[in-house]
Amino acid sequence: MADETIACVSVAEKKRIRRRRAYEAWRIKHPKLPPREPINSPNGRLCRTCNERKTPECFKDDKRSVDGLAWRCRDCARRAHGRWRANNVDHVRDEGRGYQRRVYARNPEKARETLRRSRLRVKYGIEFEELLDRIAKQDGGCAICIKPLAVRTFDRRKGNVACVDHDHKTGKIRGILCSHCNRGLGLLGDDPVRLDKAAEYLRASAQ
């Protein structure tokens, strides 16, 4: 009966009937999902990951979105990015090394200064400008031997490289030394008693 009904109509109508029947069969296998909450409301914008409503400032910009904001909040995006980095450690490391190699090849001096700035910030909690201020307060020389310090020399084998001397237990910065004096304190374990004995030994041997 159904085939006879289709045979009595035009070709275009036959196509519409077949499409409607195919859609009805597909809808039986895939029932409609319950309606989703609106993204924007007076209570805030909905994050599709944590399902919490937050202020628009909690979302990054996304030009592909209708309202110009991302579909998930900054916290969820940060956690997702952290999980991705943890699962792709080799890729992240290789990309970072490749970027450093490209930057170093273009401008080696700038790359070294950028690396030193980041190390000062991460290891000692100071900026490069604060290092320069501390050296200026020491009249531009080492706090022990008064040798002029060079802040843009990165070869540690040269004795005039400015080194941040700090207490390894408390992390407090004691002063700025040349690499030779800084290495000497470290080899003697930062022990004042051993340093006094070393000074007495040198005085006795000089007589």
Q: How far is CA 172 from CA 125, 141, 166, in A?
A: 10, 20, 5
Query: 16 lies in a domain?
Result: no
Count how many residues are written for the chain.
207
List of E strands, 5-106: 40-41, 44-46, 53-54, 59-61, 69-73
The pTM of the full predicted model, rounded to 2 decimals, is 0.46
Query: 71 lies in a domain?
Result: yes
Query: 192 lies in a domain?
Result: yes
Determine the structural domain holding residue 77 and report its residue range: 60-88
Query: 74 lies in a domain?
Result: yes
Query: Could you read off the pLDDT of 164-182 as tens digits, one per residue?
Result: 888 888 888 888 888 888 8
Query: 26 lies in a domain?
Result: no
CATH number at residue 151: 3.40.1800.10
Query: Could you read off the pLDDT of 75-107 as tens digits, one per residue?
Result: 999 999 999 989 988 888 877 777 777 767 777
